Amino acid sequence: MKSFLNLIRWKNLLFIVITQLLVKFLFFENMGAETVLSSIEYALLIFVNIGLAAAGYIINDLNDVKADSINKPHKSYIDQGVPEKAAFRWFLIFNISAVSIGFYLANIIGYPSFAALFIMCSALLYVYSTYLKFVPLAGNIAVSLMVGGVAILPGIFDLLPAITLQNQELQASLFFTLLDYAIFAFLINLLREMVKDQEDIKGDYNVGINSLPILLGRCRTNKIIFAFTILPIATLVYYIYNYIFDNTYLVLYSLIFILGPLLYFAIRIMDAEKKKEYSQLSIILKIVLFFGLISIGFLEF
């Protein structure tokens, strides 16, 4: 059971659940949003999200057995707790269940075409694990788009269908706030994926993955990561100054839990060389992503 939970990255799935619960029951409700999904239907939407994420983790591990045996032998779950055939069955179960429920929800809200989003996500996960991860940056971008979807999906399925002439200004404002969070999640996760490429360079080289560190070397890749880090830092400074500068608590929260760690990351990445250093930097970005996304529950204040 423990190996299975680790295989589907239960901690990451819990993070998805927490984020989307905060969106529905704090952000939407406290901001006076009009929504269309009942609590049960919204729970199904969350399941769709974690189902696709779990399927993605499984198919990725199935295609990464050789690389993981080199990069992280102590965290390789296929055939070391979960048999390969059983893992593939679970991949199918999560994938088919998520897409089927997504199709149901799209029809419930009166936009059956929205089901295409889940079909595209499902296809993207498979294409990523079998092809895109071998293309420099393409795999990093694909995974980061999925992470950004965690923030924007409730807006698409619960907020947009409830738009009327009377509430369109408020609904649009809330949707674009979610879009800001989705872009933030995309940028931070893209940085993290690039750092993980640095961390996994040995195994990736052995299985033929052409990541940036393999093509350009670690030193040049560090500089590229640093340059990418400037964008979320500059965006956060702009956001703090223009939108929450009058709220001391939110400013302190942003500085301590988001901007501060990002600045520390930017300084450390330039001198990073060892696998352990990249692992620590990856954890810092995960913390930034966590505190960044859950802050959506505090926006009322």
Picking from 151, 152, 142, 148, the residue whose alpha carbon sits closest to that of residue 122 is 142
Region of 278 on the Ramachandran plot (φ > 0 left; ψ -120 to 50 alpha; else beta): alpha
The reply to whether 29 falls in a domain is yes
Buried b (16+ CB within 10 A) or exposed e, 144-172: bbbbbbbbbbbbbbbbbbebeeeeeeebe
The reply to whether 121 falls in a domain is yes
Q: How many domains does the chain have?
A: 1
Which residue range is the domain that position 137 belongs to? 2-227
CB 195 within 8 Å of CB 269: yes
The reply to whether 237 falls in a domain is no
The reply to whether 259 falls in a domain is no
The reply to whether 248 falls in a domain is no
Q: Is 121 helix (H, G, I), strand (E, B) or coil?
A: helix
* DSSP 8-class letter at 64: -
Q: What is the pTM of this model?
A: 0.91
Tokens 């360079």 -> residue = 201
The reply to whether 58 falls in a domain is yes
pLDDT in tens, the chain (301 residues): 777 888 888 999 999 999 999 999 999 998 999 999 999 999 999 999 999 999 988 888 777 767 666 667 666 677 677 888 888 899 899 999 999 999 999 999 999 999 999 999 888 887 887 777 778 788 888 888 888 988 999 999 999 999 988 899 999 999 999 999 999 999 999 999 999 989 888 877 777 778 889 888 889 999 999 999 999 999 999 988 888 888 888 899 999 999 999 999 999 999 998 989 999 999 999 999 999 999 988 776 5
* Alpha carbon distance 162, 156 (integer Å): 10
* Alpha carbon distance 69, 67 (integer Å): 5
The reply to whether 239 falls in a domain is no
